[in-house]
Amino acid sequence: MQRAISFTLNGKPARLNVDDERMLLWVLRYDLGLTGTKFGCGAALCGACTVIVDNRAVRSCSTPIKDVAGKRVLTIEGLAPAGRLHPIQAAFAKHHAFQCGYCTPGMILNAYALLLKTPRPARAEILREMEDNLCRCGAHTRILDAIEDASTAMQGGAQ
């Protein structure tokens, strides 16, 4: 159904007149021009399209836009609004926790949700929470290291 949908996007109000069954991924990438959110599988199997909705990580390829009405959506573009890297981004850069970089925005945002929920997670907990985000280049160990490092840097609380 075509209707107006309002939500908060990266801290700013957004209002769109859209078919409310459309998936959030396509609205973000093409209607709003936020291409940091990636298409990987289209079936919520890889995590490349992960964004944060009301502090929880969701797969935007399988989330209809109507589900975010009235909610707060955070994409990778909103994580460093003033140009200053979020500690998770800084840790990914420091550890070179990426190679091709395609899965990276989804990895970072999934980690963001994890650290909001559990500021000081054990290694096994990080692994469990990251399990369904796929990386083909094999940066896994560095990604876990980066998340541990970010957790310490944030001193127990997500910004």
Partner 1 sequence: MRPPSELSRRDFFALTGSGLFVLFRVEPLQAFQEPAKLPTWQGAPSDFNAYLRIGEDGRVTAMAGKVELGQGVMTSLAQMLAEELGVALDSVDMLLGDTDLCPWDMGTFGSLSTRTLGPVMRAAGAEARAVLVQMAAERLQVPAERLQANDGVVSDSSAPRKRVSYAELVRGKRIERHLEKTPLKPVAAFRLIGQSPHRKDALDKVTGKAKYAGDMSIPGTLHARILRPPAHGATLKEADTSAAEKTAGVRVVKDGDLIAVLHERPDGAERALGLIQARFERPQPSFDDKTVFDHLLKTARAYQVVHSSGSLEEGEKLAASVLDLTYLNSYVAHAPMETHAAVARIEGGKVTVWASTQTPFPLKQQVAQALGMAPENVRVIARYIGGGFGGKSASRQAIEAARLAKIVGRPVQVVMSRAEEFFYDAFRPAAVVKIRSGLTAAGQIAFWDYRVCGAGERESRQFYDVAHQRTVSSGGWMGGNPPGMHPFAVGPWRAPSVNTNTFARESQIDMLAARAGRDPLEFRLSQLSDTRMRRALEAVAKQFGWRAGRAPSGRGVGVACGTYSGTYVATMAEVAADKSSGHVQVKRVVSAQDQGLIVNPDGSRQQVEGCITMGLGYALGEEVRFKDGEVLDRNFDTYQIPRFSWLPKIETVPIENQESPPSSGGEPAIITMGAVLANAIYDAFGARVLQLPMTPARVLEALAKG
For binding to partner 1 (CB under 8 A), which residues are involved? 22-23, 26, 29-31, 33-43, 45-46, 48, 75-77, 79-80, 85, 89-90, 92-93, 96, 98-105, 108, 127-128, 130-144
Minimum separation from the CB atom of position 12 to partner 1 (A): 17
Q: In the complex with partner 1, which residue's Cβ is closer, 26 or 148?
A: 26
User: What sections of the chain are H helices per DSSP?
Assistant: 24-26, 87-95, 104-117, 123-130, 140-153
Supply φ then ψ for residue 100, to 5 degrees: -70, -25
Report DSSP state, residue 21: T
Q: In the complex with partner 1, which residue's Cβ is closer, 100 or 122?
A: 100
Strands 12-19 and 2-9: antiparallel
Minimum separation from the CB atom of position 155 to partner 1 (A): 20
Report DSSP state, residue 27: I
Minimum separation from the CB atom of position 38 to partner 1 (A): 7
Q: In the complex with partner 1, which residue's Cβ is closer, 7 or 27?
A: 27
Contact 143, 97 (CB under 8 A): yes
Strands 50-53 and 56-59: antiparallel
Contact 89, 80 (CB under 8 A): yes
Minimum separation from the CB atom of position 126 to partner 1 (A): 8
Q: In the complex with partner 1, which residue's Cβ is closer, 116 or 144?
A: 144
User: What sections of 1-139 are H helices per DSSP?
Assistant: 24-26, 87-95, 104-117, 123-130
Q: In the complex with partner 1, which residue's Cβ is closer, 7 or 135?
A: 135
Minimum separation from the CB atom of position 98 to partner 1 (A): 5
